Amino acid sequence: MSKKEISRRTFLNYALMGTGGFLAAGMITPMIRFAIDPVLKTSAAGDKVAVGNVSDFGPEPKNVNFTLHTKDGWYESETTMSAWIRKLEDGKLLALSPVCKHLGCTVSWNSSEDFKNEYFCPCHFGRYAINGEHILNTPPTQSLDEYEVEIKDGKVYLGKIVPNPRPGVSG
């Protein structure tokens, strides 16, 4: 076997390129970190928002608007959200998203003369029962989403939106 020798010029070339690469990486890494840092930070989107007192809600759904602070990378904004909240028979609170699961229009409670005591979507005549279950043979194929609800010191807090586990019902 013959041993390949490298010249002094090739060795210096490798040494300078390695040192230059190391120095460049040391300067560029903080710049890249600074550029993507807002994306890596966790936002407060998981926090719950106070929407009223427990005594404000009864068996009839009540519409509540609230403001949510959102952060997306470098962009921060205030978003107005809405929920339909009612007290269930067992005393727990149910908070439903008003966004129709068909095409995203807004549903309202008891707004149709033909369909009393139901959530109704005027865009495509979607219907939902009082607990958000979609009514079979209407455009929506899923029940209205729910908000996580927490009660603390007599106040009602809403968290993130979760899927409604209730199946569709006959109308």
**Tens digit of each residue's pLDDT (9 = 90 or more) over 35-73:** 777 666 655 445 788 888 888 898 999 999 988 877 776
| Proportion of the chain above pLDDT 70, given as a percent | 91
- At 144-165, the pLDDT tens digits run 999 999 989 989 999 888 888 8
**Regarding the domain delimited by 49-162, which CATH topology (the fold level of the hierarchy) does it fall under?**
Rieske Iron-sulfur Protein (2.102.10)
Average pLDDT, the chain: 85
Q: Are 69 and 46 in contact (CB under 8 A)?
A: no
Using the structure block, give the residue that is written with the tokens 């043979």: 137
Q: What residues pair up with 22 in beta bridges, in sequence order?
A: none
Domain with CATH 2.102.10.10 in the chain: 49-162
- At 105-127, the pLDDT tens digits run 889 898 878 888 889 988 888 89
Kindly report the number of other CB atoms within 10 A of residue 154's CB atom.
9
pLDDT at 1 over 70: no
- Give the integer Cα–Cα distance in Å for 163 and 120: 19
Q: Quick one: pLDDT at residue 170?
A: 80
Structure tokens at 30: 């903080």
Q: Quick one: pLDDT at residue 45?
A: 47
How far, in whole angstroms, is CA 160 from its chain's centroid? Answer: 6
Q: Quick one: pLDDT at residue 157?
A: 92
